[in-house]
Amino acid sequence: MSAAPLIELTIDGRKVAVAPGTTVFDAARINGIAIPTLCHQQNETPVGVCRMCVVDVGARVFAASCVRPAEAGMVVTTCSERIESARHTLLELLMADHPSPCARQQHSGDCELETLARAAGIGASRFPRRAPRPQDDSSPAIAVAHDACILCDRCIRGCGDIRNNFVLARMGKGGATDIAFDAAAPMGESTCVSCGECMVSCPTGALTNKFVVSTALGAEHGAQSATTEELLALPVFHNVSGTFLELNKNAVIKRRYRKGEIVCREGDFGSTAFYILEGKVSVSISSPMAHVKTSGGERGFLSRLSSLLVGRANDHRAEDVTRRSIPIDAPVDLDYNHPVAELGPGELFGEMTCMNFYPRSATVRAETDCAVLEMLRNVLDTMRKNKTLRAQLDRTYRQRALEDHLRNVPLFRALDQEFLDRLRERVELASFAPGQLICRQGEPADSFYLVRLGFVKVSERHAGGELVLAYLSRGDYFGEIGLLGEGARTATCTALDHAEVVRIPGEEFRAMLDRFPSVRGGLEAVAQERQQANHERMAVLGSVPLESFLAQGLMEAQSLLVLDLERCTRCDACVNACADAHDGVTRLIREGLRFDKYLVATSCRQCRDPLCMVGCPVGSIRRRSSLEVIIEDWCIGCGLCAQNCPYGNINLHPFTVQADDPDHPGRKRAVVRKKATSCDLCTNQAEPSCVYACPHDAAHRVEPRQFFGSLVGAPAQRDAKGAK
Amino acid sequence: MRIDRTHTGWLVASCALLGAACVLYALARPTASPEPMGGTPLGLAFGITGFAFMIFAALLGARKRVPVWRLGRAQTWMRGHLWLGLLSLPLILLHAGFRAGGPLTTALLWLLIIVVASGLFGAALQHFMPATMTRQVPLETIYEEIDHVRAQLRAEAAERIARAKTIVVPENPDEEGAAARGAEPAAPLAAFYEREIRPYLDHAPGPSVLADRAQAERAFAGVRLLLPPELRDAVDDLENICEEERQLARQARLHRWLHGWLLVHVPLSIALILLGAVHAVVALRY
């Protein structure tokens, strides 16, 4: 929210004050004054084509309120005899060609045009009907009735602005204008992906959903279809197309859980989100907060046979992160030391699983008898457009999670509570579609960002191509360096999937730096380190012909374990040493690609583009400050990182731990839990164990572009310690 | 381990130590009436030093059992094993005054010579064999996985021949060999598979033409002549499978050479240390 002064105007005799930039339509809506509209939808940029929302602003002509900005001192009349007459005529003209009742009116009785016409007392139109326009049934999912189209443009904006598919557009001129798919192809032959955005945007029956499949979520836990009337009665489904809900009635069902029952388990894959109607649930991580021991060898012979999970208190690692909270797929984050939280009515969880099919990030159990709506993605998509829900989600986030996220930023730890409270109210919450640019390298920096939901890709462009620096997830942040330095972005940030971010405006950020000099000092130190690393990286990239390694994907690696096959006696000392250093679980396999006389062993490459990080439901696989990939204590063993790694370098290792027995409260039983493991370069040692233990000087950890550069002729130095 | 320029320091130090020992021996040993050397202070010094070098060399095995303990890099231990182990022989010879002595000391001396010789043999293998293996076995796999890979090759070959039998070839009576093929175009390949390929992949006893690359190439070339063009891919695949099997067999042989010598070196080394300890106790006490 901006701190600029509010604008005062009068609407229907009532004095109101709104923020600058607010349209007259929104000013009226905020103050409870309804203005009819057909082409305007809250989640789309207004275009003012239907003219139903015209109001009298005291000018020569009526103004379309959806596009007219409110001005100080404006006197607005939303309903007068002249305005009503104008609207009446418009409705009559539109109804003249409308095939009443249209498909939407027939299915769910909520065609917006026919509803307005009925309210205005319009029956048969006095204007002649023009020649009928064709139907298009070519799409398997959506029926197109051009006759019912009122050219409101909503479908075009939905397809382009919201979904970025850009299939729909206007075609023709004047009375022959129509909507068209691609170059006037039938919808089924166009590049339409049947996302349904046009259909849910359409106010009439011009675009309606065909009944394609019998969606059926599971029948357990008293599942029952929620009727359209029930759903429309909920504030979060307000203004959602009744046709859409009717034809997707099995895509959203109501479930009831008794106290103690599990709603969903961490690590399970799913495709649904949950909205709590009644009762409370607890959200927790039941996997032990521990990591696979990474230093071994000093224990006895027999004890080395068993693998062990060790908590932070018993095995402090050099890379121990200082995060206090664990990001999960819910409105709250979990405190590391007590990973349990509670959700209540009106709260939504499982969005990331539903939207992007990531594994469940936590276990949800009913704390009281509760009722939830479980829904598939198409329903969640539609629900998220509802401003009431958005406002509710934003409010919850500000109250429950935002401060934790701010505190997790090391720079913000020195801030006092007063400043944090001020920041909490001044930050903006923004959404980005998959692939959408958030900020571009080189452009002026004007904001600092926290990731609230989804994943953001941070990349750097250079002569050799794009270098991905990181994938950021919930609780991570970016943009601070640009605000401090010359004011230009040092990297490009792009939403990898449906991402939501917290934007702190530059002026607030600079106010913070002025008020807290220690924060500025810390930030300058970080900026200097990054610039140094950047110079070194660019020097390497500029000196080696990258194309040589494209075929083997070696250019993506920052640290390779290479074995000189002319020295290696295949004694497996490296593998044994790795297993010995990691509790009997080796993290390297002496097999892989060959380049010249070298074998590139199967071991984490610390990739420049760490695909393993994408989708981690709890953000436990991450980079260190030196760009090494590590797996944190709260890994829930879902295995997504292992699936994502293109080189098979991450493995899940089972451990036997004691956990609560749900069948016998108060007792514990042995269960098997899995944790992901990958090469960590033996960060607690001066040298990787595999290299240290090789008796033949055959094993080396190298930076591939420097190392292989010497083979392809570029001047380079071999660094046996790799990218440490 | 490759013996290359990085061993220069060890070589120089070893030569210097040996040279010094020889000088001391020459100065201390009276040529007029040679006496047993072992019991003299210098002789004892040679013996203790030589035995210490042997013990250090033997400790390499223990060092490999604790690879992550920071006790010095394994490479350093290996080089020390090589050079100090090698030095132990001349030092023991100097200790013994180039005499075999009694039964125990004679046995010890022969044990030491065999252990050092086997060690030199092993060092030579480790110097040359890795490059040989890399060159001759481009399809190398992990040694313990060879049996598993072989099973996969057998399955792949069986599946390939089964698929080849289902290939339909358009009739063309003018084509060379069409009459000989008759109604089953894959019959010659199937017969070759049953006669040669499967026994070879199954390691049936007896010689096989497929065990030698040149002979295998000739055999497959002969089979190709009997087959229509549509089946040439199947022949190529089977030939590649046989080549991979040959490489695995070669890898197994080279691996056994590369590591088999340890079956002589290690037990004899243990015996040498034990008997050496016995000799030390007996010689000093009695």
Q: Which of residues 560-579 of A touch B (CB under 8 A)?
A: 565-571, 573, 576-577
Percent of chain A with pLDDT over 90: 25
A461 touches chain B (CB under 8 A): no
Give CA–CA dist A313/A332, Å, rounded.
25
CB contacts, 8 Å: B75 with chain A: 694-697
What gap in Å lies between CA A616 and CA A684, rounded to an integer?
Answer: 25
Q: Report the pLDDT value the prediction gives residue A299, as an integer from 0 to 100.
A: 47
For residues B248 and B142, what is the distance between their CA atoms, to the nearest angstrom?
10
Which residues from B are below 8 Å from A296, CB to CB? Answer: 68
- Looking at the predicted structure, is the pLDDT value of residue A555 above 90? no
Q: Is the pLDDT of residue A544 over 80?
A: no
Contact criterion met (CB < 8 Å) for B1 and A689: no
Q: What is the pLDDT of residue A537?
A: 61
Lowest-confidence range among A305-319, A358-372, A548-562, B248-262?
A305-319
pLDDT for res B115:
96
Residue reference for tokens 């109001």:
A55
Buried (b) or exposed (e) across A480-509, using 16+ Cβ within 10 A? Answer: bbbbbbeeebbbbbbbbbbbbbbbbbbebb
Average pLDDT over residues B187-207: 92
Contact across the interface for A566 and B2, Cβ inside 8 Å? yes
pLDDT of amino acid A312: 64
Contact A577 B68 (CB under 8 A): yes
Q: Is A227 helix (H, G, I), strand (E, B) or coil?
A: coil
CA distance A559 to A697: 18
In contact, A431 and A439? CB cutoff 8 Å? no
Q: What is the pLDDT of residue A540?
A: 56
Which of B2, B138, B141 comes nearest A591 by C-beta? B141
| The pLDDT of residue B85 is above 80 | yes
Q: Could you say which of A576, A594, A698 has the minimum Cβ distance to residue B67?
A: A576
A581 touches chain B (CB under 8 A): yes
- Whether A318 shows a pLDDT value over 60: the answer reads no
Residues 6 or more apart whose CB falls under 8 angstroms from that of A492 comprise A437, A439, A440, A441, A458, A459, A460, A461
Q: Which of A295, A689, A697 sits opposite B67 (nearest CB)?
A: A689
What is the per-residue pLDDT for A132? Answer: 82
Across A20-46, average pLDDT: 90
Neighbours of B114 (CB within 10 A): 16
First to last CA, chain A: 44
Point out the least confidently predicted range of A657-666, A714-723, B40-49. Answer: A714-723
Continuous segment of H or E residues that includes residue A468: strand A465-472
Non-local CB neighbours of A527 within 8 Å, separated by 6+ positions? A481, A484, A485
Residue of A nearest to B73 (CA): A692
Distance, first Cα to last Cα, chain B? 42
Read off the amino acid at residue B127.
H
Choose among A569, A594, A693: nearest Cβ to B68. A693
Taking only the tens place, the pLDDT of each residue in A512-529 is 888 888 877 877 777 777
pTM: 0.60
Rounded to whole angstroms, how far apart are CA atoms A244 and A602?
50
pLDDT in tens, A41-65: 877 899 999 999 999 999 999 999 9
Query: How many angstroms away from the CA of B134 is the closest CA of chain A?
Result: 6
Q: Whole-angstrom Cα distance, residue B218 to residue B241?
A: 16
pLDDT tops 70 at residue B210: yes
Confidence of residue A196 (pLDDT cuts 50, 70, 90): confident
The whole-number pLDDT of residue A252 equals 84
Specify the DSSP class assigned to residue A360: P
Supply B165's token pair. 């039998």
The secondary structure of B126-160, three-state, reads HHHHHHHHHHHCCCCCCHHHHHHHHHHHHHHHHHH
CATH superfamily of A224-285+328-403: Jelly Rolls (2.60.120.10)
C-beta pairs of A515-522 under 8 Å, 24+ apart in sequence: A515/A419, A516/A414, A516/A415, A516/A419, A518/A414, A519/A411, A519/A412, A519/A414, A519/A415, A520/A484, A522/A410, A522/A411, A522/A414
Looking at the complex, does the CB of residue A300 fall below 8 Å from at least one CB of chain B?
no
pLDDT tens sequence across A86-125: 999 999 999 998 988 888 888 778 899 999 999 999 987 7
Residue B39, pLDDT score: 77
Q: Mutate which of B3, B63, B68, B75 to disrupt the A interface (most A C-beta within 10 Å)?
A: B68
Q: Radius of gyration (Cα) for chain A, nearest Å?
A: 30
Cα–Cα distance, A79 to A59 (Å, whole number): 15
CB contact A695 to B (< 8 Å): yes
The pLDDT value given to residue A412: 74
The superfamily in CATH containing domain A409-543 is: Jelly Rolls (2.60.120.10)
Enumerate the residues of chain B whose CB falls inside 8 A of the CB of residue A580: 66-68
Decide if A224-285+328-403 and A409-543 have a common fold.
Answer: yes
Question: Which residues in chain A touch residue B256, judged by CB atoms under 8 angstroms apart?
Answer: none
Element (H, E) at A674: strand A668-677
Residue A26 has pLDDT above 80, yes or no: yes
Return the HEC string of A606-664: CCCCCHHHCCCCCCCEEECCCCCEEECCCCCCCCHHHHHCCCCCCEEEEEEEEEECCCC
State how far Cα A271 lies from the chain centre: 15
pLDDT band at A394 (very low <50, low <70, confident <90, very high): confident
Q: Do A696 and B78 touch (CB under 8 A)?
A: yes
Most trustworthy range by pLDDT among A292-296, A541-545, B108-112: B108-112
CA distance linking residue B105 with residue A608, whole number of Å? 63
The dihedral of CA A503, A505, A509, A515: what is its sign? Answer: negative
How many residues does this entry show for chain B? 286
Option in B73, B78, B143 nearest A570 (CB): B143
Average pLDDT taken over every residue of chain A: 81
Mean pLDDT, range A429-445, rounded to an integer: 86
d(CA A237, CA A245): 9
Residue B134 and residue A597: Cβ atoms within 8 Å?
Answer: yes
The answer to whether A696 contacts B131, with C-beta atoms less than 8 Å apart, is no
pLDDT class of B108 with cuts at 50, 70, 90: very high
Nearest chain B Cα to A598, which residue?
B134
The residues of B whose Cβ lies within 8 A of any Cβ of A are 1-2, 6, 60, 64, 66-70, 73-75, 77-78, 126, 129-131, 133-134, 138, 141-143, 145, 255, 258-259
What's the mean pLDDT in A588-598? 86
Q: Which residues contact A128 (CB under 8 A, 6 or more apart)?
A: A96
What pLDDT is recorded for position A50? 93
Confidence category of residue B121, pLDDT binned at 50, 70, 90? very high
Q: Is A486 on the interface with B (CB under 8 A)?
A: no
Contact between A21 and A69 under an 8 Å Cβ cutoff? The reply is yes
Distance CA B102, CA B88 (A): 20
* Cis preceding linkage at A101, omega within 30: yes
Domain parsing of chain A, residue ranges: 224-285+328-403, 409-543, 546-709
Using an 8 Å CB-CB cutoff, list chain A residues near B74: 573, 692-695
